[in-house]
Structure 1
Amino acid sequence: MACRDSDDKQQRRFNLADLKHQAVEYYRNNEVPQRLEEVLNTMFYQRPADFYGYLANYFAGLSQPPVICKLSGKKILDGIGRPTLEVEVTCRIREREKRVCSSTISSHAEMLENTSNEAFDADERERRESVNTAIEWINESFNEMFRGLQPTDQDNIDKLLGEYFSKKAEEDKIRREAEKEKEAQEAVPPVSHPQPAAPQSGKKKGTKQGKKPSLVEKPILPAEPPEPIVKGSMAVGCISLALAKAAAIITEIPLYMHIALLKANQAIKRCLDIQKQLMKLTEPPVQPPSSVGEGKKSSRDAKKAPPPVLRKMSHLGCLVIGSESLEHPLTLIQTACANLSMELGTDVHLGLNCAAHELMDYSKGKYEILFGVHKSAEEMVDVYLELTNKFPSIKTFIDPLRKEDKQQWIVLRNTLGAKYHLIAEDSCRNVSKLLEDDSMSTPKCRGFILKYTNETKITDFLQVSQLLEDRKQICILGSPDGESIDDSLVDLAVGLGTKFIKLGGLSRGERVTKYNRLLAVEEELSKNGRLCERDERDLFDFVEEEEEEEEDEFDCTDFDTGIVQAAL
């Protein structure tokens, strides 16, 4: 056995040396030899059992990501023998062209059983023309448009598809209007001859007694005309699905998991797009350069001009702007969402991190909500109620009052608590003390934001999360102010099963790192089949519970997992 092992090692060294010599000679004029020689030298040291597999895996990792190289449109038959569309996707994977998958799409119309022969023939002609147009779009325009793009870039793919279809739809609309106008001009109105009026006898015919007048039946409304279909539009949906299937095959995950990951990535992408839009909306206007002769005059005018709008990025990764009203930041977010074709309350929900303890002016005993504008604790309840009336998309208030204003917390809970998350953060800074003194002063709210700081231990989080769960309150993990690049907070939140996580804005590396880790965990859970997809509407599906006997006992409802972001 010893001799055989020795012979195997000598043979392996010979094969490695021979492979190294042949590869260097073959690729002598390229950049490959230097890297290949480095790999082979490493292999000589490690002596892998399967050095060919080692070499293949190494260079596979250095290859370019798969890209689309060809889209093919074909005419096939559907389940009842009518023509429909199929799209084949060919990608370049590891420098080789490979047919990845294909996708078909259903025809755009349904024919009823009582359809006349003329209507059936017209539908068949329109269907054939639509399929032929779709094949033309795919084999010419789309084939050129998508060549070289990565099939995993679904957002960009669908954006290009949408722009192309919008252009074709506008052309089709213009064509249809021109045809209608031409038909109206060619139509000759019929000549109508006036009918002589019937002679009136002078006596009015009265209704006979004992007979009820006949009821006039309401006419049945005619069927709405069918919505016009843009010929070739089948190509748009078929390509979008085909490339989604190709991306799932390339990444070696089921299609439903790929779709779930696209949905997760969209949530963070939405927040990032909104933040970029806010940066554009708050961009200070560019002042035109003044001439040399007007230097003194412009300097005098500059002193009278109002100060520029304050805009900076806080240590929390959030955009900070100057504002003259409480509604101004929310209106900016509303405008940003409208520019991105998003709807507040449907696509995006808002949470306000009020930080009321930072607004208290102790010399006046009131909250300074704006410069020179002071409100009492009682008046703050009315302020929040007015904001929710103007912006129904608000669903969460974090620290709306100081923890000392216990009575106002109860009033705010009774006013808004059945429809909104009222979350406390400032009152539970120390998790271990919260466990030591269960009766410590904390407001009656729907949940708490906990932070991993100082002497807090893992077992402390385990105990306090169980304590809040028993009370039917929400446990939220939040980033501390002095944040680091350690992303363990995400793993801790997922492991504890917290309902939300509060990470701050999508800026600064120490916070973006945690968003990236959140996406990585979600992708890993999805690959293992352990990711639960829930309806986002359930996050804010509040159900009122029966009132407890104690006056200050607060009813809470369980909620699904989500992301709470601090002040976009």
Structure 2
Amino acid sequence: MGLPTLQVEISCTIQNFPKYICSVVIPAHFEVSENALPEVVDAEEAERHQAVNAALQWVNESITEELWGLNPSNQAEVDHRLRIFFENKVQEDKERRELERSSEEPVHAPPPVIPPPPPPPPTKKKGQKQGRRDTLLEKPIIPPEPPEPVLHGSMAIGAVSLAVAKASARLGGTPLYMSMASLKHGQEPPSMLTMPLVMGSVLSCGKSSPGKLNLMKEVICIPHPGLTTKQGIDLLLEIQKQVNRVMETPPPPKPETKKGHDTGKRGQQPITGKMSHLGCLTVNYDTLEQPLLLIQGICSNLGIELGMSLHLAINCAAHELMDYSKGKYEVMVGTHKNIAEMVDLYVDLINKYPSIIALIDPFRKEVSRVHLFCFICDKVRSLTFHIL
């Protein structure tokens, strides 16, 4: 994406001569917003540079000294030293923040603000039945949690640990995945090697995308578990290739009337996209159906049976959708829904597209999962519904 990041190189002394072994590149944790204000973009860019520069300083100075002389096959000792080093850095940062906070605190603290009493509950209309919808709807909206601070330079820890593991595998002449599996099984090769279920993000239509759709931060394709890992990855790469081809194809010209006026939908934007920090295309879609119809069309062209050979999952990232001034989720620009309306939206979406087998973060975390699961299953009786 053309953004500064960290590359760690490993050299070992072999027969008294230093020799370059391998390198590892690790991404930064920063999310790139498509429609952020210029001052926000500048602030994020400055913070990203600080994070990468701090990581560079850690690797080139302190961490290199900590690991000098260790055998790269001793992963446990490497990770132990990295963990102690990071704990010390976290403690230093905590002490620095407390010192800054104490110097900024006023001498006389203002009196505590007494919150106003809660409004009386609404009167129950005659004939109205109290059900689960009302219970779900009246749950108070908890204010947003402050973002958890990320220590500048922390990306160096994972990068160095992975680079050492890669160097050990290369020196031992074994694949990296097999070398990492042997760490779990006491340096012995496992009798049977299992791989996680292959999943791949192919589209991003979330809050930071240029279109009106906010709900689908990631549209994730999940090959059938019966496929091998290689077959699943090949399938995902082919789908991604077709998505890129569709995005690069210019839209057809709109028909004109006899008077020369455009008969297409006014204000409709062409389908364009670019790579997001999630590794997939950011698309300016305006409706829930558009990204799903795109995947359907691609599967149809490839002869893939959606819902059998391939399933879908949606990362809703609902915590990013909450409009606290209204107490509702902004699923699309200008379209706000409360919890009960969100449930109806998800139920309709799953009934219309049964290939969706999972919703990731469909609500903020204060919503009771058990309550919500029972509420949805009451509406979708024939569907096994997973909330991850």
Q: Tell me the TM-score normalised to structure 1 length.
A: 0.29
Larger CA Rg, structure 1 vs 2: 1
Higher relative contact order (CA 8 A, sep 6+): 2
Structure (1/2) with the larger helix percentage: 1
